[in-house]
Amino acid sequence: MVLIFLAMAGNLRAQKVEIGLLAGASGYMGDLNPSHYQRYTHPALGALFRWNINPRNSVKLSFLHGTVQGNDASSGDPHQQARNLYFRSPLNEFSAQFEFNFFRYNPLWGNEKFSPYLFAGISIFNFDPKARDSIPGSNGDEWYRLRELGTEGQGRPGYPEKYKLAQLAIPFGLGFKFNISRNWNLTAEMGYRATFTDYLDDVSGTYPDPALFQHTNPPDPAAAHFSDRRLNRQPSNPAGMQRGDLLKKDTYLFAVIGISYTFVSSWCPAFSDWGRE
């Protein structure tokens, strides 16, 4: 086992690998927050694995955990306030990204210790929108998983299937990296995620017929309540009325700062003259 570990460590040094931790904030834009990511932010944590191909190019794998949230009641839009929807969801993301450094970045050379960079890649993430309220027959305020309720009729005859809680996204953004001292690096980046779902907030299209929830056996008061929380219940049957903007997909972002350790050594020829002409 010791020999295997030493062999792996030597290979890491030769391959110019970094591992590190990330901390920052997560945000969301969608039907319940059509602008201003910073309106609802939550702490985010994660880890990274970076392979520095050369001083200009890197490949990064990362895991990030955050929370996304939206609330019509705190919106400045009277139409949103009247709709009165709310959600909160944990979000876990695994991502593979390619990074391009504007400047040559090589910790072993005195004038190559910092660079802004662009990145893009692909992510897979999972989410689970929930809402909390007190409904008839419940024991006070409780959290409900909105997907399971089918708030827009999903999963019922004549309506779409329930959306998947694991989805793909395209991450892209800008960052800055700085070498603190030889093996230690600081990074700061802001990355947007373009998703392929409009259900990050459980809101997409139109109101379903309320009879869907009344005619189940037994009736489903939770689904009826979270499907239609309008402050003004006119008309009493909103079937077909717009509930969300189905033309736009939801997006989210991570803004993080990271610290990483590079497994390199001055004796490693692959790094000491890393890509220099």
pLDDT at 140: 67
227 lies in some domain: no
* Cα dihedral sign, 187-190-193-194: negative
CA torsion 271-273-274-276 (nearest 10°) is 180
CA pair distance 75, 89, nearest whole angstrom: 18
226, pLDDT greater than 90: yes
Give per-residue burial for 107-124: e unless 16+ CB within 10 Å, then b: bbeeebbebebebebebe
Is residue 153 in a domain?
A: no
Tens digit of pLDDT for each residue in 83-116?
999 999 999 999 999 999 999 998 776 678 899 9
The model's pTM: 0.86
Place of tokens 């992510």: 123
Domain that holds residue 66: 2-75+87-128+168-198+256-272
Residue 237 within any structural domain of the chain: no
The predicted structure's pLDDT at residue 276: 53
With respect to residue 243, please indicate whether it lies within any of the assigned structural domains. no
Assess if residue 265 is contained within a domain.
yes
Q: Under 8 Å CB-to-CB from 181, ≥6 apart: which residues? A: none
The answer to whether residue 216 is domain-embedded is no
Half-sphere exposure (Cβ direction) of 73: Cα atoms closer than 13 Å: 8
Cα dist from 72 to 31, 32, 131, 227, 253, whole Å: 9, 6, 12, 14, 20
Query: What is the total count of domains within the chain?
Result: 1
What's 14's domain CATH number?
2.40.160.20
Q: Is residue 235 part of a domain?
A: no
| Residue 229 placed within a domain | no
How do residues 103-154 score in pLDDT, each as one tens digit? Answer: 999 877 667 889 999 999 999 999 999 999 878 766 768 899 999 999 999 9
- Please, which residues have CB within 8 angstroms of residue 271's CB and are 6 or more apart in sequence? 13, 14, 16, 106, 108, 264, 265
3-state helix, strand, coil in the chain (%, to 5): 15, 45, 40
Does the pLDDT value for residue 235 go beyond 70?
yes
Q: Are 101 and 177 in contact (CB under 8 A)?
A: yes
